[in-house]
Chain A
Amino acid sequence: MAWVWFHKFGSPPHFYRLATRLTPWAAWPALLLGLAGLIGGLVLAPADYQQGDGFRIIYVHAPAAWLSLMVYVVMACTAAVGLIWRMAVAHAVAASCAPIGASFTALALATGMLWGRPMWGTYWEWDPRLTSELLLLFLYLGYMGLRNAIDDVPRADRASAVLAIVGVVNVPIIHYSVIWWNSLHQAPSVMKFGQPTMPASMLIPLLLMLAAFTLLFAALLLIRARGEVLQRERNARWMLEALERLSTHDGPPTRDGPSAKGVLVGR
């Protein structure tokens, strides 16, 4: 049956093992791609003809902004899966998304402001993108606040899942309403990030950074989700195995992929 993988994914021991095994496969490529992107973006890419070297902020701003949205969508989708199929693992993944997404939303805001100072002449402009980003941060904070307020984990899972779904329906509406609101005042939008025709020397580092941030998110998510899965688990047997292996081997055996002793890999 095609659904076997689905049920397998939903079983905590299987997920825990899989997440442990996959983490280095996300973390190390993230590091390599990030380094390549940094060199390409900071050194090799030429200065922008309008924004000079100031445009190099895009190599951290755009990936952070991309993550802020993607993490919310991932959170809402996994929350919906958890709500519909009552799958604790999916809830664990959704719960792990929120702090990561909120921190990258804050990063996108901060870097957007630092970019705005030389380009707009002010740190804060009621630019539709920055404003939407700020509202997205509020949505994350609301999600985390709701989770925090409910002590019972399964109930927090289900309530916050409803909120995440309501939020993800609202995100595009909020975004377009903010654009609509801003277009009326027609402060001629100065320069925007991401001109449509970007030379390859600028674009490739950007794509590298986008890939690096996405993989970094995957690694962080896998580490956090393992903790969340453990927290939700009451069945002792597989946990015993997972924890025993931890104390005897100091990391998974080598057939599980690259060494897990790396900096990025939680043990």
Chain B
Amino acid sequence: MSARASFASAAALLMARDLRLALRRAGDSLLPLGFFLVITTLFPLALDPELSQLRDIAPAALWVGALLSSLLALDLLFRDDGQDGALEQLALCGQPFAGLLLAKTVVHWLLTGLPLVLVAPLAAIALGAPYGAMPGILAAVLLGTVCLSLIGAVGAGLTLSLRRNGSLLALLVLPLAVPVLIFGARATALAIAGESLAAPLYLLAATAVLAATLAPWALAAAVRIGLE
């Protein structure tokens, strides 16, 4: 074996390690999901429990819930690795730092985004969406959570070295996530109405591609600054 592993194997090792660590404390990763469910439950309680009315607010409830729970989940992304010096090791190990951080973000999405993708259509049904809307909502939440994880990771990187960063992180990330919210909620609304949701899905996909290409560089710069 060569002294320096290829980037692919390094990223695979990192992802396996992150997954193992997270699964050892699976409860932590599932907390944002619980938060999402509680939020979507609160909306009907604040309104009339009539399904026809709930259907109108279902997109808003789903996406505001997804946004807030992804914000909450960001705490898990770098907290432990920032404290025990693992991030410094990654920065110094000679592999492209942006790529490694992207790998970490992918794991983060697998742990906190993917459960949301699976649960969101069910939550939508509970809010009065027809069964036929499930694939559309699934696709929208899939693309949307990818965007949210990538955008949120940049915010988490920027606030890495700060002590109490909760509300600041929200102020940094939420305005940047507005396009995702708009496209996602619109796609969900169209899916519930039984219309074609191609346009917002394309826009979400474009946002996801853009975020996946640009966010890693910003993330690497932000984390490096935080580590200095």
Contact = CB atoms under 8 A, between A and B. Distances in A.
B168 A149 contact: yes
Nearest to B154: A166
Interface stretch (A3-11, A100-108, A133-141): A133-141
A61 interface: no
Interface in B129-187: 154, 158-159, 161-162, 165, 168, 171-172, 174-176, 178-179, 182-183, 186
B183 to A, nearest CB: 7
Interface stretch (B48-56, B112-120, B214-222): B214-222
B207 interface: yes
B84 interface: no
A141 B182 contact: no
Interface stretch (A28-36, A157-165, A212-220, A224-232): A157-165
Contact of B225 (A135, A145, A159, A166): A159
Given A159-B222, A166-B218, A184-B186, A150 B179 contact: no
Contacts of A201: none
B34 interface: no
Nearest to B210: A173
A83 B162 contact: no
Main secondary structure of the interface of B (DSSP, over half): helix
A177 interface: yes
Contacts of A169: 214
Interface in A71-130: 83
A154 to B, nearest CB: 9
Given A155-B225, A162-B221, A169-B214, A174 B158 contact: no
Residue from B175, B179, B226 with most neighbouring chain A CB atoms (10 Å): B175
A138 B174 contact: yes
A155 B226 CA distance: 8
Interface string A158-187: 110011011101100110011011001000
Contacts of A167: 176
Interface residues of A, number: 27
Contacts of B165: 149
Contacts of A158: 221, 225
Contact of B176 (A150, A170, A180): A170
A207 interface: no
Given A138-B171, A181-B186, A184-B186, A163 B158 contact: yes
Contact of B159 (A83, A139, A149, A177): A149
Interface of A: 83, 135, 138-139, 141-142, 145-146, 149-150, 155, 158-159, 162-163, 165-167, 169-170, 173-174, 177-178, 180-181, 184
> Which 3 A/B pairs are nearest by Cβ-Cβ distance?
A177-B179, A138-B175, A142-B172
Interface of B: 154, 158-159, 161-162, 165, 168, 171-172, 174-176, 178-179, 182-183, 186, 203, 207, 210, 214, 218, 221-222, 225-226, 228
18 contacts: A142-B168, A142-B171, A142-B175, A146-B159, A146-B168, A149-B159, A158-B225, A159-B222, A159-B225, A159-B226, A166-B176, A166-B218, A170-B179, A173-B179, A174-B176, A177-B178, A178-B182, A181-B182
